[in-house]
């Protein structure tokens, strides 16, 4: 056996991959470990028994360097540098990806009745401290705010008619002109909504949202906005010079 020199740097940061898994993890390792000790540490990382491991060393550029095949040799006796990869080949017969298949993990389930009786649950904590939905005053106030918001939206929506010219004025955004194409409730979100066909391609869709066609326009010309942001009036379509000859 040829003589080998142990590197002076005691700790090296390497990537660890495995034939059992698709992921790679980064580990800080002591170059003073024997390969046998290293394999024991890698058991918890890759899930393979130490006795069923073969180790391969890859360089920073991911090219194969050599096999790590002497259990009594020190890790530092091999050309292991920061950024190298140690690949674990499992010989136990375990199928690839077996430890990543969550469908095979037994799930803990508890009935609502049993959960309700527990004193160490999140629900118990919220009840005891009157937080969230268990704060009657806060819950009632939220319900009142939601109802007031819906009433404001309904009143604003009732003043908007399909076919009217409009401007959409949203805080922090440029004013957009268009034509009202839809007014009312929608399936994609609660509350009242106004569908607008913009004069420019400043929208998000063609009037279809989540598979439902509320109105029809060219792609990127349609948008849904809240009634409070829509101002109806005599807003002629601006000439953007799109048809001018160059």
What mean pLDDT comes out for the span 67-73?
Answer: 92
Q: Which of 27, 38, 18 is nearest to 88 (CA)?
A: 18
For residue 1, the model assigns a pLDDT of 45
For residue 99, the model assigns a pLDDT of 56
Tokens for 44, please give them. Answer: 């918890």
Residues 168-184: b if buried by 16+ CB within 10 A, e if exposed: beeeeeeebbbbbbbbe
Q: d(Cα 134, Cα 116) in Å, to the nearest integer?
A: 14
Q: How confident is the model at residue 73 (pLDDT cuts 50, 70, 90)?
A: very high
Query: Look-up: residue for tokens 């101002």?
Result: 231
| Residue 114 DSSP class | H
Q: d(Cα 4, Cα 231) in Å, to the nearest integer?
A: 81
Q: What pLDDT, in 10s, does the model give residues 100-122?
A: 555 666 677 778 888 788 888 78
Kindly report the pTM of this predicted structure. Answer: 0.44
- For a pLDDT cut of 90, what percent of the chain falls above it? 54
Q: Which of 89, 79, 77 is nearest to 39 (CA)?
A: 89
Domains of the chain: 11-94 (3.10.20.90), 158-232 (2.30.30.190)
Between 149 and 102, whose confidence is greater? 149
For residue 227, the model assigns a pLDDT of 95
Pseudo-torsion of CA 176, 181, 187, 188, nearest 10°?
Answer: -20
Q: How confident is the model at residue 71 (pLDDT cuts 50, 70, 90)?
A: very high
Q: d(Cα 242, Cα 245) in Å, to the nearest integer?
A: 9
């Amino acid at each position: 056996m040829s003589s080998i020199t142990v590197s002076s740097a005691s700790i090296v940061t390497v990537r660890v991959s495995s034939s059992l898994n698709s992921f790679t993890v980064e580990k800080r390792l002591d170059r003073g470990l024997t390969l046998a000790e290293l394999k024991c540490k890698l058991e918890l990382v890759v899930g393979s028994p130490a006795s069923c491991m073969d180790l391969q060393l890859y360089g920073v550029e991911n090219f194969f360097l050599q096999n790590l095949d002497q259990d009594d040799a020190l890790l530092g006796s091999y050309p292991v540098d920061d950024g190298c990869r140690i690949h674990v080949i499992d010989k136990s017969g375990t199928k690839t990806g077996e430890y990543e298949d969550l469908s095979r993990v037994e799930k803990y389930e508890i009935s609502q009745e049993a959960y309700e009786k527990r004193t160490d649950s999140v629900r118990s904590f919220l009840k005891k401290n009157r937080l969230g939905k268990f704060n009657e005053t806060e819950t009632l106030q939220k319900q009142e705010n939601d109802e007031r918001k819906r009433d404001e939206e309904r009143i604003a929506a009732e003043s908007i008619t399909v076919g009217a010219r409009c401007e959409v004025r949203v805080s922090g955004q440029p004013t957009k002109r268009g034509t009202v194409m839809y007014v009312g409730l929608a399936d994609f979100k609660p509350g009242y909504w106004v569908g607008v066909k913009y004069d420019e391609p400043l929208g998000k869709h063609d009037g279809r949202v989540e598979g439902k066609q509320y109105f029809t326009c060219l792609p990127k010309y349609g948008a849904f906005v809240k009634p409070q942001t829509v101002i109806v009036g005599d807003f002629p379509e601006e000439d953007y010079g799109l048809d001018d000859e160059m």
